[in-house]
Structure 1
């Protein structure tokens, strides 16, 4: 496995959700990257922007990342300090996963993003403003299983909050 995403900077998002195991409110975190981040497409088969000679392709959309691994040591150390409970899960090949601050049970991204009104899919601007945003002025390189982009309409309020979406829906 090799990194398949790189960005000139990244964002740490912070929110709250009810733990699906113990029911208590707990902090949860996610990483986001700006428009023009790059993804590795060695086959050049997705039909998007032309790939560079090395297989990297620029993505015009911002993305919320899911299933993140292979982070640089410095990024991991920063996340340990800035995003408590967000840590590598040895049961998931060290994928960075949220863990409940009370019972330590992993909280998977499907529980945080799959439906409107979840921790990182706010239904309106007011809910989006409740999501903490910390911009990290350092490059990010990682292996990412899934990128939630503006192709996912439920992300619109969050992307607007981040300044990565037009105010009017498409």
Structure 2
């Protein structure tokens, strides 16, 4: 279905920008900053071959020195019809604002402490199972050594990986692809070996 790309749908919600025929639910232990107790946290990932509307544009060599888009070209790019692109590698997704209802329902049963946060524009967030405080994604994903950025295979082994054989659609603001080297041990845990040649 072709739609005008405005960033939101008719209800004012973000449009889905990632989809896959299956997805991964990742589970690990993380120390809560509020109560200092270990709590279970969850993350979502999509397999190699997922589709995304937010893929990076690749410039031709002749455009490599371009100072940027002209105002007309930017307007055309911004309001182009949604175009799904197949992404060859896996991705960890974060800053999830919208999930397909069947995925959201599955998470209610599988990950009850991972849910929309009313204080963060309903972004899907982990909450401590002991004190109920939100656990910010910045403490889970971004840097090597954090819960979902294990430094090596030994650290990655502590993460439970459960593949959900069901369609996945979401709107996510951040995609941690295999271009992020600090995600390679996690992706190896999911069954995807990454290297410089990729």
SS in 2 for 1:118: coil
Q: 1:46 aligns with which of 36, 57, 60?
A: 57
1:39-75 per-residue CA deviation (whole Å, 9 max, x = no partner) reads 114xx87128xxxx85111111210110112212221
5+ unaligned residues in a row in structure 2: which ranges?
1-13, 60-80
SS at 1:113's partner residue? coil
Q: Secondary structure in 2 aligned to 1:70?
A: strand
Q: 1:140 aligns with which of 168, 174, 185?
A: 168
- Length, aligned pairs only: 163
Structure 2 residue 131 is the aligned partner of structure 1 residue 131: no
User: Greater strand share, 1 or 2?
Assistant: 1
Partner of 1:63: 91
SS of 2:145's equivalent?
coil
**3-state secondary structure, aligned to 2:41:** strand
1:8 pairs with 2:36? no
Aligned partner of 1:29 in structure 2 is 42
Question: What is the aligned partner in structure 1 of residue 140 from structure 2?
Answer: 112
Cα distance in 2 for partners of 1:45, 1:58 equals: 12
2:161 touches 2:189 (CA, 8 Å); kept in 1?
A: no
Work out which of the two has the higher radius of gyration on C-alpha atoms and give 1 or 2. 2
Moved over 2 A (4+): none
CA displacement 1:119-162 (0-9 Å, x = unmatched): 11111111111100111111101100101111111111111111
Any conservation in 1 of the 2:89–2:177 contact (CA below 8 Å)?
yes
Query: Structure 1-normalised TM-score?
Result: 0.89
**Gaps in structure 1 of 5+ consecutive residues:** none
For 2:160 and 2:179, the matched residues in 1 are separated by 22
